[in-house]
């Protein structure tokens, strides 16, 4: 299970542990639950929460104005019918994927290193999907008619058009949201019970009690718990691949040069996981520092995640290469022009920044001591987040703005409302996340407990 | 440590699971029912009018032809609403001082139009054409219901798109001989009173008559969007 | 509610009293506010007129009640309740006494005519329940033959324009027609008997009735004078004729007879008398049945590229002021005996630095070749001089046509159209002098806006104020009305009785489609108040006049009158051709006049604007937003020059510069135009209006500031100076405008040709390879789609567009806008790439910036067989009809814009905001009741005028027959003066469209995408002269 672990010695071996030695079941529980129960609301938390909440209010403002005036407040036009809204949608939904991957697939593969990060990775997934879910609604010209996309019996005798990927999106995203929430909640139940039992004030007891759904930790409960998580993991696993595949169909089904490509599904999924892990790191590293969780979220975790990023990053790079190669190999005027326009056209700067962010810079992850420096990783993860956002911008806007008929070429410039909406969703995301780390154990007590034995064994040997 | 919840909570929580499902389902059903209800569609709801005009009396008892008042029904998309003139052509002789008819006389006197409440209204993005329906053997009563028995006029159909499609998908079930189009008492053929087409052949069931007329009148089953929406 | 200004604007008590004093309420009230012209009222107008007012498109952050309601509606809908919003209860209001001819729901067509700059064109106007909604050409009228132009098409919007003047005004306060008539009565008695100091100022008048009235007036008042002025009138042509023939004559061309045409700076296809007819005749000689057929050849010499220039087989860019010298050379070359002109000034080839003393070889070669071509086509050739050229060039053109024996064949002459042909500039000069001398007691201005458009050096505004009583009758309370004591709202021609002459003299009848909306009065009625027969209606005046003129009496006259009204014209009233003798001594006149500006001096050329003409259409949103030919510019005019000239002066598109000419100066934005002559700057007049209305006030730069009586069309010695600021133009197509990085994006055209969007060949190439336009992919692309092909058992609609006929005049664009209730979005939105036209005229350039060939390509929806838009719509709002249309169901559309992204032709348009004006009541009448008015957030597109298709199908079904070929005519097809667009059933192999599609020139755009468009093009074929090598 751990290729490096065996030949490592002393110092580095200590770093390779998934849990610092000297923890007992009790201390683990104390440490984690205390963050929620005893630590109370800190200034730092208030500050962070305040900022994010302000951004959330900005989002509300932007959306209200959008509903009053129409999508014209954005920079979109003919030919560029999609821009920030869809870019953000794809970006957020992509970020979500890391969570599901960690919690579902790694669970099935018995990757123990997932235990201390899966909880907030899953949380991240849910919040990201929440943000993503907004955009398909908001980008519509008449959002109040969104239900036309749902197949329901109606006096018009009309169905949605099932040939359109947008309809599949509706199903993909909603399924994804549902499963993620269930999975996360089921995993939470034992910990909620723990909080219920440790909570001092009555309100907390009732709320956690209510959420714990009468968990008593009996053998029956545990066995059902295990089965449930396994089942859900099984359900979630295909979603990791399917959701972003469907999203990629929005583009590959169309005939727009730069969209119409069979490579999209795999390369979107890879990209998703890439950005997802970047986001997990972006969140994990500061939290780990702020709440002194270094011995729960060890170097080993960071290192492994960095490796995953490196791997998926390479897949994405391969995607870019293939795209370029195919454009020339196909001999199609339009595709060749599309690539040339990306590299040398009006938006070339953005393209080259994207290449730098997603391909060039992450290469330093080959170096072990970069992978093991939290600061370095943090920066790189941020860079990758930016890069992946730009990738979607290039795919969507730069492909559309100069399409088949030169007479209808035009430029897209984001307006202040475009930015407000984008930043706003980040506000929503962070707000939810702050609430999460304040009121729910951000690391799975149960699963870390299970690590205690392991570490003891390893120490023993 | 004391129990936080009473023992009954277990039961309640279990119930609430099923409850949730039922409530949501019920809500959806309710919405659907409302959408189909007369309250929402105004189906079978007779409207207040400036003059309590009775189709039963005029079209039924007096047997005045529809086209006497709705003059453009065969020529135009709009069936046409009679000008006050038309009313007065009779009512300048009969019921000349019936109080009920004062608004009509006033309208004629002061040259101010009567303003009726519309009974059968379609949204503005729906382009319905009376003339083609009438000319293809769709009778007035097929859509407007038993007009000759309406003391006050009401909307006889929901006018939902599904209702339109229902006929557009199988016109044979509704078509009648052109000669019968303006007959407010027309009944689909049956054994005791068969229906005869223009060429004299008589039919005893709609299926036969329908398929015959569909061929005869070259009736198409138009269902694409631009038939009604532009 | 929205029509009621109360929420927006508090009005004072006087207002209310005044309003109560007036019959018929709110209309007057609004107009009163208009007169007050308060800031509130401006805001009110903006809110009232959002889709047209530019300002309205600036994002208004104020949330008014209407918006608030919208949010509530939206949020309610978000909660899924929208299914439970009931249809509102409607009222239905029948007639009291029904007019017999009207069948509710069926349109009626009336024949009338519209006079523009004196020349009347016959029209058929569609009327729904008494509301004129659509203008079509009158096929029986010689000036139209069924075709129209942008001005005719857009005139119906002018009728409903809420900014039109709405009440009689005296000294800035509301007055009444009665008061006006009374006042005129007094004045009449004051000036009687001789009428000293009475002056009438009209535009060009061809109306016999009005002329008769004015003549009558002049008889009553011997000392009264009649002046005419038209800023872009036919002075040069008139003087040219006088020069050549000793008397003013009307020149009528017959392009259908001409094999070789030389245009000396004349844009005869889209401007000037008879251009609609000329476009048709010209196109008829360009149409090709097959490789064997012949086509005419067109040479154009001009500075600013025009439609005519774009159609040319050889176009020579040349400074306007150099063209008369060129004309002289050409004249002598074709055997006009002109004394050898002074050759000191060389003619410059485009893009060359001036080098004195020698005639450039390029131009030499060009000229000789043209001359030879003309000589070898005696009697089948034609030389046309443009209005922008001095009289001498017109005279030369006449002389050449004489010398070439064209007179009587490709060109003939008639008595002038106007009853009183005067040199209008001089006529106005006299008036100004009299005004300044204080000789004028009463000045009656019947139409026109001289305060705005008179030559600057006249200082007309100041002179005007010297007249004791000033009366203005016009459609708008404009710059001139502002300075007059009396303003009388004129009736729109759709509200008027009247008459006018066509380009060939045929008398057209103007008859009203609707009673005056804003109690306007016709010029005839106003004139009548002076001749003492006030009280007579325009109709009586007209009828009486003709009764007195016509030979027919009583019965016969009745019959004649009925027929004339029905046809919209008086049969066989065209002016007869007369033989014109060239002035014996006219040679000498030339060499004296032949002095051109020094070569590298900058000239400033004035031209009427392609879409708003001399400014009279400034308040017409449709015309403001119509992309101008070649430049594709909207909502602005510009200082247009060639890239070379700009480069030499370090200028680029968008530079905001100061233009100095003749002691006057003007700030304007620079726009580079490929193919423009060097050392020449073209500026369109008509913009920079100060008092045009909510739409026309503001945009552009007022060229009249620089326009003097001595240099009305071209001024030499122009100085340009950068201000350092940038001006932003709203172009709908970016090629050759400066792109965001600061260099001209030639790329676009280059790519267009790389992508075979425009298929071109010379006549010889075409004859060698008739199938040059066919793309190989089209042949074997069937069945490549995953979905089964559609089967078309009934009709299958298709369209064919002949690029050889299309002259890029934009008539189709405006016609489509009118037919389909397309909204105007304003400059700001156009700049954001959101113009709404369903059909656009793509313009591509081939071959460098100096002498590019220009190609027009009208682009409606392609109605693809394998439509990329259809399968991506999540809600099935755009679907394939069994007749092959890509239906668009507005009420189903949720606005994902996916269809537009996936449309390779980008013919779909999106309502990013609520563009349709739901608020201005007067505009309700304008709408075509058979087309949904689209709301915010909805995609819209061309559907081949499906409302017309359905109407025709219903008619045919009721008459139990098939739709006849040519029975369905799309709006664009009907408007097209050149018959470039043909629509019909491609399942019917005998239909015109099928036959055109069967031609070898037939091709489709982006064939390799296998979209299989129903709209196909007939490739462009040029007919260059082998002797000219460019």
Q: Does C768 touch chain A (CB under 8 A)?
A: no
Interface test with C, best of A66, A77, A170, A348 (most C CBs within 10 A): A77
Say yes or no for a CB contact (<8 Å) between C950 and B111.
no
Tens digit of each residue's pLDDT (9 = 90 or more) over B180-191: 999 999 999 988
The lowest-confidence range among A226-240, B154-168, C776-790 is C776-790
Looking at per-residue pLDDT, the higher value among C226 and C290 belongs to: C226
Say yes or no for a CB contact (<8 Å) between C94 and B121.
no
Q: Which residues of A touch B122 (CB under 8 A)?
A: none
H/E element holding C799?
strand C797-802
Tens digit of each residue's pLDDT (9 = 90 or more) over C413-463: 999 998 889 999 999 999 999 999 999 989 999 999 999 999 999 999 999
- Facing C946 at nearest CB: one of B34, B77, B230: B230
Does C77 have pLDDT greater than 70?
Answer: no
Confidence bin at C344 (pLDDT 50/70/90): very low
Tens digit of each residue's pLDDT (9 = 90 or more) over C11-30: 343 443 444 344 333 333 33
Does C35 have pLDDT greater than 50?
Answer: no
Percent of chain C with pLDDT over 70: 85
Q: Which long-range contacts (CB under 8 A, 24 or more apart) does C741-746 make?
A: C741/A346, C742/C652, C744/C643, C744/C653, C744/C672, C744/C849, C746/C845, C746/C849
Model pLDDT, residue C786? 80
Say yes or no for a CB contact (<8 Å) between C840 and A140.
no
Rounded to the nearest integer, the mean pLDDT of chain A is 87
Say yes or no for a CB contact (<8 Å) between C74 and A143.
yes
Distance from CA of B155 to the nearest CA of C (A): 13
Tens digit of each residue's pLDDT (9 = 90 or more) over A187-218: 899 999 988 888 888 888 889 988 888 888 89
Across C362-367, average pLDDT: 87
Distance from CA of A195 to the nearest CA of B (A): 13
3-state SS of C262-314 is EEECCCCCCCCCCHHHHHHHHHHCCCCCCCCCCCCEEEEEECCCCHHHHHCCE
Across C877-881, average pLDDT: 94
Distance from CA of B165 to the nearest CA of C (A): 16
Tens digit of each residue's pLDDT (9 = 90 or more) over C204-237: 999 999 999 999 889 988 889 999 999 998 899 9
Model pLDDT, residue A22? 72
Confidence bin at C349 (pLDDT 50/70/90): very low
Model pLDDT, residue B5? 81
By C-alpha distance, the chain A residue nearest B12 is: A213
The lowest-confidence range among A131-140, A398-407, C36-45, C65-74 is C36-45
Confidence bin at A54 (pLDDT 50/70/90): very high
Q: Which residues of A touch C874 (CB under 8 A)?
A: 148-149, 160-161, 164, 166-167, 170
Model pLDDT, residue A113? 75
d(CA C183, CA B179) in angstroms, rounded, equals 66
Give the A:C interface size as CB pairs under 8 Å. 193
Q: Which residues of C touch A246 (CB under 8 A)?
A: none
Rounded to the nearest integer, the mean pLDDT of chain C is 84
By C-alpha distance, the chain A residue nearest B13 is: A213
Model pLDDT, residue C85? 59
The lowest-confidence range among A34-48, A439-453, C43-57, C263-277 is C43-57
Interface pTM (ipTM) of the complex? 0.91
Say yes or no for a CB contact (<8 Å) between A206 and B4.
yes
Model pLDDT, residue C376? 94
C-alpha dist (Å) from residue C815 to C33, C395, C930, C971? 33, 37, 15, 6
- Facing C913 at nearest CB: one of A72, A146, A400: A72
Tens digit of each residue's pLDDT (9 = 90 or more) over B144-173: 999 999 999 999 998 999 999 999 999 999
Say yes or no for a CB contact (<8 Å) between A156 and B161.
yes
Q: Does C335 touch chain A (CB under 8 A)?
A: no
Say yes or no for a CB contact (<8 Å) between C889 and B84.
no
Distance from CA of A157 to the nearest CA of B (A): 5
Confidence bin at B7 (pLDDT 50/70/90): confident
C-alpha dist (Å) from residue C716 to C93, C436, C441? 64, 29, 38
Looking at per-residue pLDDT, the higher value among C85 and C97 belongs to: C97
Confidence bin at C134 (pLDDT 50/70/90): very high
Looking at per-residue pLDDT, the higher value among C997 and C97 belongs to: C997
Q: Which residues of A touch B13 (CB under 8 A)?
A: 213-214
Q: Are A297 and A444 spatial neighbours (Cβ–Cβ below 8 Å)?
A: no
Strand partners, C301: C264, C316
Percent of chain C with pLDDT over 90: 59
Q: Which residues of B touch A196 (CB under 8 A)?
A: 4
Model pLDDT, residue C585? 57
CA atoms within 13 A on the CB side of C407: 18
Distance from CA of C60 to the nearest CA of B (A): 29
Model pLDDT, residue C40? 42
Q: Which chains touch C (3 or more CB pairs under 8 A)?
A: A, B
**Cα dihedral: C759, C762, C768, C774 (round 10):** 10
Confidence bin at A36 (pLDDT 50/70/90): confident
Distance from CA of C563 to the nearest CA of B (A): 26
The lowest-confidence range among A48-52, A388-392, A409-413 is A409-413
- Facing C894 at nearest CB: one of A75, A142, A400: A142
Q: Does A367 touch chain C (CB under 8 A)?
A: no
Does C735 have pLDDT greater than 70?
Answer: no
- Facing C887 at nearest CB: one of B42, B80, B224: B224
CA neighbor of A146 nearest in space, from C83, B123, B225: C83
Q: Are C523 and C473 spatial neighbours (Cβ–Cβ below 8 Å)?
A: yes
Q: Provide the residue count of chain B.
A: 230
Model pLDDT, residue C584? 63
Tens digit of each residue's pLDDT (9 = 90 or more) over C625-672: 999 998 899 999 999 998 889 888 888 888 999 999 988 999 999 998
Tens digit of each residue's pLDDT (9 = 90 or more) over A333-366: 899 999 999 998 889 999 999 999 999 999 999 9
Confidence bin at C537 (pLDDT 50/70/90): confident
Q: Which residues of B touch C794 (CB under 8 A)?
A: 220
Looking at per-residue pLDDT, the higher value among A384 and C129 belongs to: A384
Confidence bin at C159 (pLDDT 50/70/90): very high
Looking at per-residue pLDDT, the higher value among C71 and C869 belongs to: C869
Say yes or no for a CB contact (<8 Å) between C83 and B31.
yes
H/E element holding C722?
strand C719-726
Q: Are C892 and A148 spatial neighbours (Cβ–Cβ below 8 Å)?
A: yes
Does A239 have pLDDT greater than 90?
Answer: no
By C-alpha distance, the chain B residue nearest C929 is: B124
Rounded to 5°, angle at Cα C249 from C244 and C255: 95
Q: Does C832 touch chain A (CB under 8 A)?
A: yes
Distance from CA of A99 to the nearest CA of C (A): 29
Confidence bin at B12 (pLDDT 50/70/90): confident
Neighbouring residues of A62: CB distance < 8 A, sequence distance ≥ 6: A417, A420, A421, A424
Model pLDDT, residue C752? 75
Q: How far is CA A383 from the centre of its chain?
A: 15
Model pLDDT, residue C61? 37
By C-alpha distance, the chain B residue nearest C93 is: B115
Q: Which residue has the tokens 């795209």?
A: A323
Across C866-877, average pLDDT: 94
Say yes or no for a CB contact (<8 Å) between A158 and C876.
yes
Interface test with B, best of C77, C84, C98, C951 (most B CBs within 10 A): C98
Give the B:C interface size as CB pairs under 8 Å. 129
Q: Does A158 touch chain C (CB under 8 A)?
A: yes
Neighbouring residues of A350: CB distance < 8 A, sequence distance ≥ 6: A390, A393, A394, A398
C359 phi, psi to nearest 5 deg: -75, 130
- Coil vs helix vs strand at C654: coil
Q: Does B35 touch chain A (CB under 8 A)?
A: yes
Q: Does C758 touch chain A (CB under 8 A)?
A: no
Tens digit of each residue's pLDDT (9 = 90 or more) over A293-319: 887 888 888 888 899 999 999 999 999
- Facing B36 at nearest CB: one of A155, A206, A213: A155
- Facing B10 at nearest CB: one of A196, A205, A214: A214
Q: Does C63 touch chain A (CB under 8 A)?
A: yes
Say yes or no for a CB contact (<8 Å) between B113 and C950.
no
Q: Does C860 touch chain A (CB under 8 A)?
A: no
- Facing A81 at nearest CB: one of C67, C73, C910: C910
d(CA C952, CA A42) in angstroms, rounded, equals 76
Interface test with A, best of C777, C892, C894 (most A CBs within 10 A): C894
């Amino acid at each position: 299970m751990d290729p490096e672990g065996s030949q490592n010695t002393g110092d580095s071996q200590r770093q390779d542990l998934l849990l610092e030695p000297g923890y007992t079941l009790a201390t683990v529980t104390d440490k984690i639950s205390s963050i929620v129960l005893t630590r109370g609301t800190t200034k730092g938390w208030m500050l962070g929460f305040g900022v994010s909440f302000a951004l959330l209010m900005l989002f509300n403002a932007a959306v209200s104005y959008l509903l009053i005036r129409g999508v014209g407040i954005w920079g979109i036009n003919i030919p560029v019918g999609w821009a920030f809204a869809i870019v953000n949608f794809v970006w957020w939904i992509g970020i979500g994927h890391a969570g599901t991957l960690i919690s579902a697939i790694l669970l099935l593969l018995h990757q123990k290193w997932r235990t201390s990060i899966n909880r907030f990775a899953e949380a991240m997934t849910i919040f990201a999907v929440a943000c993503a879910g907004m955009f398909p609604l908001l980008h519509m010209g008449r959002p109040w008619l969104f239900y036309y996309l749902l197949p329901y019996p109606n006096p018009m005798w009309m169905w949605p058009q099932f040939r359109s990927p947008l309809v599949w999106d509706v199903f993909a995203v909603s399924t994804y949201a549902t499963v993620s929430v269930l999975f996360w909640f089921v995993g939470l139940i034992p910990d909620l019970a723990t909080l219920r039992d440790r909570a001092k004030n009555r309100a907390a007891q009732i709320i956690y009690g209510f959420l714990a759904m009468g968990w008593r930790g009996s053998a029956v409960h545990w066995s059902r718990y295990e089965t449930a998580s396994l089942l859900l993991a099984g359900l979630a696993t295909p979603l990791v691949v399917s959701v972003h595949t469907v999203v990629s169909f929005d583009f590959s089904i169309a005939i727009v040069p730069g969209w119409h490509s069979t490579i999209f599904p795999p390369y979107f999924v890879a990209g998703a996981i890439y950005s997802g892990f970047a986001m997990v790191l972006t969140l994990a590293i500061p939290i780990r520092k702020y709440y002194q969780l270094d011995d729960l979220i060890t170097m080993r975790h960071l290192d492994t995640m960095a490796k995953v990023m490196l791997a998926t990053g390479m897949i994405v790079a391969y995607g870019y290469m293939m795209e370029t190669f195919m454009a020339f190999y196909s001999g199609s005027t339009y595709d060749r022009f599309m690539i040339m326009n990306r590299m040398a056209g009006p938006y070339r700067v953005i393209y080259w920044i994207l290449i730098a962010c997603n391909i060039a810079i992450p290469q330093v992850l080959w170096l072990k001591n970069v992978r093991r420096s939290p600061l370095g990783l943090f920066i790189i993860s941020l860079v990758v987040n930016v890069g992946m956002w730009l990738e979607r911008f290039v795919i969507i806007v730069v492909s559309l703005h100069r399409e088949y008929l030169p007479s209808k070429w035009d430029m897209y410039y984001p307006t202040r409302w475009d930015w407000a909406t984008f930043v706003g969703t980040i506000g929503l995301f962070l707000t939810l996340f702050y609430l999460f780390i304040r009121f729910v154990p951000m690391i799975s007590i149960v699963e870390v407990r299970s690590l205690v034995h392991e570490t003891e064994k390893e120490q023993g040997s | 440590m004391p129990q936080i919840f009473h023992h009954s909570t277990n039961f309640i929580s279990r119930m609430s699971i099923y409850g949730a499902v039922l409530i949501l389902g019920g809500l959806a059903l309710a919405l659907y029912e409302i959408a189909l209800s007369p309250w929402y569609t105004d189906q079978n709801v007779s409207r207040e009018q400036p003059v309590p005009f009775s189709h039963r009396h005029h079209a039924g008892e007096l047997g005045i032809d529809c086209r006497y008042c709705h003059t453009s029904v065969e020529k135009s998309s709009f069936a046409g609403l009679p000008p006050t003139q038309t009313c007065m052509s009779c009512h300048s002789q009969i019921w000349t001082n019936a109080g009920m008819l004062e608004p009509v006389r006033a309208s004629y006197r002061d040259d101010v139009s009567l303003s009726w409440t519309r009974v059968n209204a379609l949204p503005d993005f729906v382009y319905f054409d009376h003339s083609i329906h009438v000319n293809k053997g769709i009778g007035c009563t097929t859509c407007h219901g038993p007009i000759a028995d309406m003391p006050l006029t009401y909307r006889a159909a929901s006018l939902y798109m599904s209702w339109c499609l229902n006929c557009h998908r199988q016109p044979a079930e509704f078509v009648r001989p052109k000669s019968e189009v303006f007959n407010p008492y027309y009944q689909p053929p049956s054994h005791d009173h068969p229906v005869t087409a223009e060429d004299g052949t008589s039919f005893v069931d709609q299926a036969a008559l329908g398929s015959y007329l569909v061929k005869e009148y070259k009736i198409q089953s138009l269902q694409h969007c631009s038939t009604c929406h532009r | 509610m929205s029509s009621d200004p109360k929420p927006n604007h508090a009005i004072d008590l006087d207002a209310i009293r005044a309003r109560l004093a007036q019959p018929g309420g709110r209309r007057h009230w609004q107009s009163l506010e208009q007169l007050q012209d308060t800031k509130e009222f401006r805001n009110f107008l903006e809110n009232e007129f959002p889709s047209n007012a530019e300002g309205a498109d600036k994002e208004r952050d104020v949330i008014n009640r209407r918006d608030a309601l919208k949010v509530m509606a939206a949020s309610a809908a978000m909660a899924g309740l929208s299914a439970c919003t009931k249809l509102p209860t409607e009222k239905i209001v029948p007639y009291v006494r029904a007019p017999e001819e009207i069948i509710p729901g069926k349109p009626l067509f009336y024949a009338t005519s519209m006079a523009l700059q004196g020349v009347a064109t016959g029209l058929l106007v569609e009327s729904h329940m008494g509301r004129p909604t659509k203008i079509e050409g009158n096929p029986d009228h010689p000036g139209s033959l069924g075709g129209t132009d942008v001005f005719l098409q857009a005139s119906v919007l002018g009728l409903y324009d809420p900014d039109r003047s709405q009440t009689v005004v005296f000294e800035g306060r509301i007055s009444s027609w009665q008061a006006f008539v009374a006042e005129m009565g007094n004045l009449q008695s004051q000036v009687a008997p001789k009428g000293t100091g009475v002056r009438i100022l009209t535009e060009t008048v061809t109306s016999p009735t009005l002329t008769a009235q004015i003549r009558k007036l002049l008889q009553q008042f011997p000392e009264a004078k009649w002046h005419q002025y038209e800023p872009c009138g036919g002075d040069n042509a008139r003087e040219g004729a006088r020069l050549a023939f000793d008397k003013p004559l009307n020149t009528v061309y017959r392009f259908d007879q001409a094999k070789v045409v030389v245009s000396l700076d004349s844009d005869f296809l889209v401007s000037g008398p008879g251009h609609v007819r000329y476009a048709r005749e010209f196109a008829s000689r360009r149409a090709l049945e097959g490789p064997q057929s012949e086509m005419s050849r067109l040479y154009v010499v001009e500075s600013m590229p025009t439609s005519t220039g774009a159609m040319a087989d050889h176009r020579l860019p040349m400074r306007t002021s150099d063209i008369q010298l060129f004309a002289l050379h050409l004249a002598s070359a074709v055997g006009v005996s002109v004394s050898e002109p002074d050759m000191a000034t060389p003619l410059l080839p485009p893009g060359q630095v001036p080098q004195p003393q020698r005639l450039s070889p390029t131009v030499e070669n060009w000229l000789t070749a043209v001359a030879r071509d003309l000589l070898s086509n005696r009697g089948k050739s034609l030389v046309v001089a443009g209005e922008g050229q001095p009289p001498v060039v017109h005279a030369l053109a006449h002389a050449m046509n004489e010398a070439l024996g064209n007179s009587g064949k490709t060109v003939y002459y008639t008595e002038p159209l106007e009853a009183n042909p005067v040199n209008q500039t001089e006529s106005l000069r006299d008036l100004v002098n009299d005004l300044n001398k204080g000789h004028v007691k009463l000045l009656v201005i019947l139409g026109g806006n001289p305060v705005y458009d008179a030559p600057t050096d006249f200082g007309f505004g100041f002179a005007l104020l010297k007249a004791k009583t000033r009366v203005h009758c016009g459609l708008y309370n404009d710059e001139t009305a502002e300075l007059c004591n009396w303003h009388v709202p004129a009736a729109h021609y759709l509200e008027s009785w009247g008459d006018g002459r066509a380009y060939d003299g045929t008398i057209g009848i103007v008859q009203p489609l609707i009673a005056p909306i804003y109690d306007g009065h016709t010029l005839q009625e106003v004139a009548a108040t002076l001749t003492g027969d006030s009280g007579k209606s325009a109709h009586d005046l007209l009828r009486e006049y003709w009764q007195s003129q016509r030979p027919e009496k009583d019965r016969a006259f009745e019959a004649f009158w009925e027929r004339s009204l029905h046809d919209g014209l008086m049969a066989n009233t065209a002016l007869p051709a007369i033989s014109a003798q060239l002035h014996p001594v006219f040679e000498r006149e030339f060499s004296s006049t032949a002095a051109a500006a020094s070569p590298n001096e900058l000239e400033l050329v004035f031209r009427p604007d392609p879409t708003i003409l001399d400014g009279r259409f400034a308040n017409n949103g449709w015309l403001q937003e119509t992309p101008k030919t070649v430049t594709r510019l909207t909502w602005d005019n510009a200082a247009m020059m060639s890239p070379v000239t700009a480069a030499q002066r370090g200028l680029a598109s968008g530079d905001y510069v100061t233009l100095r000419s003749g002691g006057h100066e003007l700030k304007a934005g620079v726009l580079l135009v490929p193919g423009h002559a060097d050392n020449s700057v073209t500026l369109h007049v008509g913009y920079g209006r100060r008092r045009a209305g909510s739409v026309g006030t503001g945009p552009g730069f007022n060229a009249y500031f620089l326009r003097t009586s001595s240099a009305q069309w071209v001024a030499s010695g122009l100085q340009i100076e950068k201000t350092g600021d940038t001006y932003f133009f709203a172009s709908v197509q970016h090629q050759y405008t400066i792109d965001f990085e600061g260099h001209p994006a030639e790329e676009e055209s280059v790519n267009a040709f790389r992508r075979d969007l425009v298929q071109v060949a010379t006549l010889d190439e075409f004859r060698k390879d008739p199938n040059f336009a066919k793309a190989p992919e089209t042949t074997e692309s069937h069945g490549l789609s995953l979905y089964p092909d559609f089967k078309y058992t009934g009709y299958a609609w298709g369209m064919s567009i002949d690029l050889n006929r299309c002259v890029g005049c934009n008539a189709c664009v405006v016609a489509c806008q009118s037919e389909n209730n397309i909204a105007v979005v304003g400059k700001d939105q156009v700049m954001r790439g959101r113009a709404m036209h369903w059909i656009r005229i793509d313009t591509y350039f081939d071959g460098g910036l100096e002498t590019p060939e220009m190609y027009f390509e009208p682009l409606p929806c392609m109605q693809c067989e394998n439509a990329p838009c259809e399968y991506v719509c999540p809600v099935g709002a755009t679907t394939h009809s069994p007749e092959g249309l890509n239906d668009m169901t507005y009420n189903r559309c949720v606005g994902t814009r996916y269809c537009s992204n996936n449309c390779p032709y980008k013919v779909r348009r999106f309502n990013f905001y609520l563009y349709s004006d739901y608020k201005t009541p007067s505009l309700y009448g304008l709408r075509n009741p058979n087309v949904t008015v689209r709301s915010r957030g909805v995609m819209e597109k061309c559907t081949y005028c499906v409302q017309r298709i359905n109407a025709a199908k219903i008619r045919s079904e009721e008459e139990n027959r098939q739709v006849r070929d040519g029975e369905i005519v799309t709006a664009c097809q009907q408007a097209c003066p050149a018959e470039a667009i043909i629509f019909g059933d491609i399942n019917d192999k005998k239909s015109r469209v099928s036959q055109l599609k069967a031609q070898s020139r037939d091709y489709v755009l982006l064939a390799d995408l296998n979209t299989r468009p129903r709209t196909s093009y007939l490739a462009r074929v040029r007919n260059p002269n082998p002797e000219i090598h460019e």
